[in-house]
Amino acid sequence: MNGNQAIAKILKLEGVEWVSCFPSNPLIEAVANEGIRLDMFRTERGAIMAADGYSRTSGRKKFGVTITQGGTGAENAMGGIAQAYADNIPILLLPGGSPLASRNVRPSFLVSDVYSPISKHAEPIMASGQIGAVLRRAFHGMRNGSGGPMTVETPGDIGGAEAPDSVIENYKPAKRTIVSPSLSDVKDAVKIFLAAENPVIWVGGGVIFGDACAELKELAELTGVPVYTTMQGKSAFPEDHELSLGAGSSATTLPASTWLKESDVLLGLGTSLTKTNYGQAIPPGKTIIHNTENIDDINKDESVDVGLPGDVKVTLQMILDEVKAAIGTGGRTTDAAARIAELRTKWMADWTPLLTSDQTPLNHYRVIGEIDKNLDKANSVVTHDAGTPRDTITPFYHATTPGGYVGWGKTTHLGFGIPLMIGTKIANPDKFCLNFMGDAAFGHSSIDIEVSVRIGAPITTVVLNNAGMATYPSGYEAAQERFGVTNMGGNYADMAEAMGATGLVVKTPDEMGPALIEAQKLNADGKTVLIDVNAGFESRRSRF
């Protein structure tokens, strides 16, 4: 048994079911011999982003794993790892590495050293006898504490060297250890929360990842307190619920923006409370109660009055016990739902004309309105790409099922949506998986349409084809006028057809709904779909 074979056997022991890869590493063959599914992508970045999507939509049940070669392969992979690091997503990267004798000789690329700042942990295997210990630390890190990528570099001579049988004989899969806040802190938090005049619950992606959506809903209904979800937290609380304020990126709903400004106590659950350009700011002057798995997040960007470090599901269960002891199991009545309804009615009166617009070329919001109306949400997963699609869809798509929306983006890599949805589809084969993106983003990952077709992971991508960048022209007046720097074009439906997918073209508003219905049928039949929406050059100058 050599080092690569030992690594593959440990992946099997840890319950790994799927690995993405590109392009060359002896570990790929060793993994295949263990019967673990492998899919080859077209770029390292795409392979990692698919592993990210797989992890995001599997909770802590399964983790995405990616194999790349060392050197140039690892150099190309950095964008995907940076995205997972920013959003605290646990994935395992297994790159090759330079032989030990040349590790410090130029031009060797020291993967573990270079990746350390964008990994939760990065470590080379320096001897075959270390394989078990290094991988145990990696899986422990994915199952415990805050999420993030784990990078394990295997130098070529270690992978090919004989590994002692004890590596496998002594290996025990890493387990999750549940950590909870102190009961006294929970009691203090509940007293503050129940005494608040205008509280709000701020929900991050940890609630979805930690399988705590049912407890969140129970707390909101028991106390009559409204719920705001961050972009990563979107779908943790049903957005058709009377206590839902909606979700936010840098754009959000009127109920959310109003409540965040006027609230006096904020209960953060499963969130880092990170200040980001791609999320809503917390106005000053609030009393903050903060639950997070990572104690380093507490008091990081916000001054916290009560910190509740620990597993979000267990923390919510402790909070619920204290709330019931204080107010009973019947809950209490507040005027929050009525106030939210009034704000929502006012807000939607302003935006419904855009969401139902018959403008041609199509307005972005009409496309979003049709997506919101025509999907079977209980059996769908939707994501946005970076830029305008993110900020336009986040407030207006009503996610109603836990995990039915994948929000992402403390960093914002264009083109993330396609490989993200491929990984999501592999983890959730019975769900309809849709990615909403612009034409600039499409250029970054369009080749992954071929991967979706080839590996049998049918997804739908909606591309806003408006012949140019929607976000950037305002900063490039001279460059645009003289050189047309933000112009672009293409027949994206034809491109998809050339890669084996089905390309649908939407030219008028009344074609959008039927195209989405057709896409759902085609995906169910195993066919990948791209919907090329004529959003028009002029539409990017309209109201968004």
Number of separate domains in the chain: 3
Whether 71 is in a domain gets the answer yes
Whether 177 is in a domain gets the answer no
Non-local (6+) Cβ contacts of 233 within 8 A are 203, 204, 205, 206, 207, 208, 247, 270, 271, 407
Helix, strand or coil, per DSSP, at residue 265: strand
Q: Do 368 and 308 fall into the same domain? A: no
How far apart are alpha carbons 371 and 365 in whole angstroms? 10
Residue 95 is part of a domain; what is its CATH number? 3.40.50.970
* Structural element, H or E, at residue 158: helix 156-160
Tokens of 513: 């709904």
49 φψ region: left (φ > 0), alpha (ψ -120 to 50), beta (else): alpha
pLDDT of residue 96: 94
Q: Scanning the structure block, which residue is given the tokens 């993330």?
A: 416
Q: Do 146 and 198 fall into the same domain? A: no
Q: Do 164 and 297 fall into the same domain? A: no
How far apart are alpha carbons 45 and 411 in whole angstroms? 15
The 3-class SS string of 441-478 reads HHHHHCCHHHHHHHCCCCCEEEEEECCECCCCHHHCHH
Q: Do 114 and 205 fall into the same domain? A: no
Give the DSSP letter of residue 38. Answer: E
Residue 283 is part of a domain; what is its CATH number? 3.40.50.1220
Domain end residue (candidates: 340, 365, 395): 340
Q: What does residue 422 show for φ and ψ, rounded to 5 degrees?
A: -65, -45
Domain end residue (candidates: 140, 169, 198): 169
Whether the bond into 419 is cis, omega within 30 of 0: no
Helix, strand or coil, per DSSP, at residue 352: helix
Q: Do 249 and 372 fall into the same domain? A: no
pLDDT of residue 473: 63
Q: Do 195 and 236 fall into the same domain? A: yes
Look up the pTM and report it.
Answer: 0.94
Whether 174 is in a domain gets the answer no
Q: Do 204 and 330 fall into the same domain? A: yes
Short-list 263, 201, 267, CA closest to 236: 201
Q: What does residue 504 show for φ and ψ, rounded to 5 degrees?
A: -115, 135
How far apart are alpha carbons 128 and 6 in whole angstroms? 9
The per-residue pLDDT string of the chain (544 residues; one tens digit each, 9 = 90 and over) reads 999 999 999 999 999 999 999 999 999 999 999 999 999 999 999 999 999 999 999 988 899 999 999 888 888 999 999 999 999 999 999 999 888 877 877 888 888 899 999 999 999 999 999 999 999 999 999 999 989 999 999 998 999 999 999 999 999 999 999 999 999 999 999 999 999 999 999 999 999 999 999 999 999 999 999 999 999 999 999 999 999 999 999 999 999 999 999 999 999 999 999 999 889 999 999 999 999 999 999 999 999 999 999 999 999 999 999 999 999 999 999 999 999 999 999 999 999 999 999 999 999 999 999 999 999 999 999 999 998 899 999 999 999 999 999 999 887 789 999 999 999 999 999 999 999 999 999 999 999 999 999 999 999 999 999 877 776 666 777 887 888 888 888 899 999 999 999 999 999 999 999 999 999 999 999 999 999 999 874 433 332 2
Whether 368 is in a domain gets the answer yes
Q: Do 96 and 61 fall into the same domain? A: yes
Short-list 524, 537, 447, 540, CA closest to 492: 447
Whether 405 is in a domain gets the answer yes
Tally of residues, the chain: 544
Short-list 340, 150, 178, CA closest to 253: 340
Whether 60 is in a domain gets the answer yes
Whether 348 is in a domain gets the answer no
pLDDT of residue 177: 94
State which residues form the domain around 330. 183-340
399 half-sphere exposure, CB direction, 13 A CA radius: 32
Q: Do 139 and 214 fall into the same domain? A: no
pLDDT of residue 46: 96
Q: Do 313 and 453 fall into the same domain? A: no
Q: Do 157 and 194 fall into the same domain? A: no
Q: Do 56 and 189 fall into the same domain? A: no
Whether 510 is in a domain gets the answer yes
Helix, strand or coil, per DSSP, at residue 177: coil
